[in-house]
Every structure is written in C-alpha cells, then in structure tokens.
Amino acid sequence: MSVLFEAYEFSGIKMRNRFVRSATVNNLTNEENRFTPEHRKLYTDLARGGLGLIIAGVHRPKREWFLGHVYQQPCLDMPTMEEEMGALVDEVHRLGAAFVSQISPPFKIRGRQVSASATDVSVVPEPLEQEDIAEIKTAYRNAGRVLRSAGCDGVELHCCHNDVLSRMISPFFNQRKDQYGGSVENRARLVLELVQELKEGAGDDFPVMIKMNASDFREGGMTVDDAAEIAAILATGGICAIEPSCGGAGASYTPSGPIEKDEWHEGYLIEYAARIKKAVDVPVMVVGGIRDLKMMEEVVDTGKGDLISMCRPFIREPDLINRWLSGDTSPSRCESCDGCLKETMRGRKVRCVQVTRVDGTRKEN
C-alpha cells in the first residue's frame, strides 16, 4: 500500500494516514457564533470519510474581532465553548481522525481596521498598537486554554491570505520601526510571542502549527527564500508543522492558485513547500490544487513534503480517502471552479455548487 495510507505521528498527534483536511470557512454557526448540529455533521462526515487530520475552522479567539465580517465563525470566548467543542472533538476522535483548530487574528480590533503598518492597496488600515498586541496575546492565551480543555490535538495559526499576521511577516506590509519590524527575526516576533501565549494557556506540550504564505507573490513582498528563513525561525521557536499557502492584497496568487489561468496547474505550491521543507526539520503539509494520488505520492517519495493537505476536494467528496482505499483511485472530482468559495464569500453555507443545491439537496450527476 502507498505510504500515504500508512500511519504518521508528529508532536504527539497520531494520524491514521497522511491526509489532512485544510481549514475551510463553512458559515455554519448560529447567530451567537457557536457550533451547531451542521458542524457536527460536517466534521463527523469528514472523519467517517477516512481523513487522518481535520483542521477545523477558521475559529476566532474573540467575538469582538468579528466586526462586520461576512464569514460566520465559532468564537472561542463564548461561555461554555470548551464543553460544546469538546463533544464535537470526542465524536471525531471516536471516528478515528485527529482534530486541530485553526485560529485567526483580528482584521478589526477596538473598532479599527488594523494591519502591520498603514500600508495597503485599497483601504488604509491603522498599525497595530501595543494595546492591540496585548489584547491579541490575552485572547490567544485564552484560546489555548479552551482548545486544550476541549480535547483538540493542537492549534494552527492562520498567518496567510492577507490577515494581520501574514502582514507582520511581510516586508511589503510591515514597515514598522519597532521590535516587530525590519529584520526577519523582528517580523517573526509577534508570531513567536503568540506561540508562547497559546502554550501558556494550553500547556507547553500543546502542538502549535502554522499556515503561512510561502511568498507574497508581489513586487517588494516576501519571497520564498524570506519565507523559508522565517519558517526556520518559527520551527526553532516552537512551531511543530508548517502548511505553506499563498494569497493576499495585490498578489498574483489567491489561495486557490495563480490568478492568470495559463499559469494555473495542479500542485501549484509543491515547489514552494519543497523550498521551505529544506529549511526546517518539522513536517511540511503541502496544499494547493493537489488532486491526483500519483502526484501526492511523488511529493512524499521525493521528500518535498510530509503530509498532503486539501480543501476543495473534501467539499466535493467528504469520503474521498475511503473511496481511494476501496480501490477507486481516480483523481478527486473537484474541478477547482471555486463555486464553493464564492458561496462562502456571499455569507452562504459552504457547498460544492457542482453537486449540491442551495437547499442542501444533491443534484443528479
């Protein structure tokens, strides 16, 4: 059997195979930003479908940061969140999958849109102030406590796709003159401080991973060599796995791949992940348009990555891994059309528009 289907363990996280469900906005929360029975169905379907690790979310450490955002996300500071999430995590564990929560920093804090510096493309944000940073640290520490007591196997920091952490590590967006700006060490500083806060809340042994941009894909931005240097600093500072991603304001890539259709190809981040893998000694989760088992095997066999992470294929086929295990090894049926993404960007519940109607019923095909 392929190495992809063999058990894998890192930092105490036991996976039955090397397949990861990459974090996916689902818009399934209720008006109190809590988990609902629809989350239970989503995650138990994914676990039943054979995945090794589910990265759930994205989740917000603090509800107040959620100002005017179209996405509806569970907020970890809601009372009794650990019990609510704990019940979900228990079920996923019983079905054989590991469960990690992805958490996202604020776009707005104390009522203002913030960034690393007052640099942007369309909206000019305000730079993070010391008071903002203190608030973020407290919220991450609390998130660590909640996720640990809910039984999560770890946490993944969202540091990509234009969020404030991805802007902190970027030489284009981060023009700061304080201890958080300038050198790669300074640009990585806030992320490392948040790793420590999470571990303060959750315990020193709690696995903290990161989804970080592998490049800014824009002039003056972070190159893949910069990203590799930052990844090495983070891995030394307590990050236990890295998922290189892409996308942000003014970039030539979105998280779904190159904007120019001619440049799009399956596995569009594999070579970037391979560059980062050379710089670190922690597992690298390769994500980005990977659809074919042969390509996945090659990634692992050639040492370009350790784990295979996918998002859209599991929206289309939550039971994809079991399909492959049953002997039907044809590629994922996802057409990478981004219909699912557009639905969530409209504030609607996530669905594969090719096979599911708005009311949740299956189309004939």
- Among ligand FMN, ligand SF4, none, what does residue 73 contact (CB within 5–8 Å per kind)? none
Identify which range of 6-14, 85-93, 304-312, 354-362 contacts ligand FMN by CB under 6 A.
Answer: 304-312
CB atoms within 10 A of CB 175: 15
Nearest alpha carbon to residue 20 among 218, 154, 127: 154
Over the window 30 to 69, marking each residue x when it contacts ligand SF4 by CB under 6 A and - when it does not, the resulting string is: ----------------------------------------
> Can you tell me the distance from the alpha carbon of 295 to that of 51, in angstroms, rounded to the nearest whole number?
18
Cβ neighbours of 200 (radius 10 Å)? 16
Nearer to ligand SF4, 295 or 337 (CB): 337
Question: DSSP secondary-structure letter at 4?
Answer: G
Closest to 354 (Cα-Cα) out of 314, 292, 322, 340: 340
CB 151 within 8 A of CB 101: no
Position among 203, 338, 363, 365 found at the interface with ligand SF4 (CB under 6 A): 338
228: contact with ligand SF4 by CB under 6 A: no
CA distance 16 to 221: 38
Please, are residues 353 and 345 in contact by the beta-carbon 8 Å criterion?
A: no
Q: How far is the CB of 337 from ligand SF4 (least distance, A)?
A: 4
Interface residue with ligand FMN among 288, 305, 308, 356 (CB under 6 A) is: 288
Measured between alpha carbons, how far is 32 from 313 in angstroms, rounded to an integer?
A: 29
Q: Using the rule CB under 6 A, is 339 a contact of ligand SF4?
A: yes
Query: Which residues does residue 286 pair with via DSSP β-bridges, in sequence order?
Result: 308
d(CA 220, CA 331): 37
Residue from 316, 318, 320, 321 in contact with ligand SF4 (CB under 6 A): 316
Closest CB to ligand FMN among 127 and 245? Answer: 245
Nearer of residues 221 and 255 to ligand FMN, judged by Cβ: 255
Does residue 289 bind ligand FMN (CB under 6 A)? yes
List of residues contacting ligand SF4 (CB under 6 A) = 312, 315-316, 334-340, 352-354
List of residues contacting ligand FMN (CB under 6 A) = 22-25, 57-58, 102, 158, 160, 211, 245, 255-256, 287-289, 310-313, 340-341, 344, 350
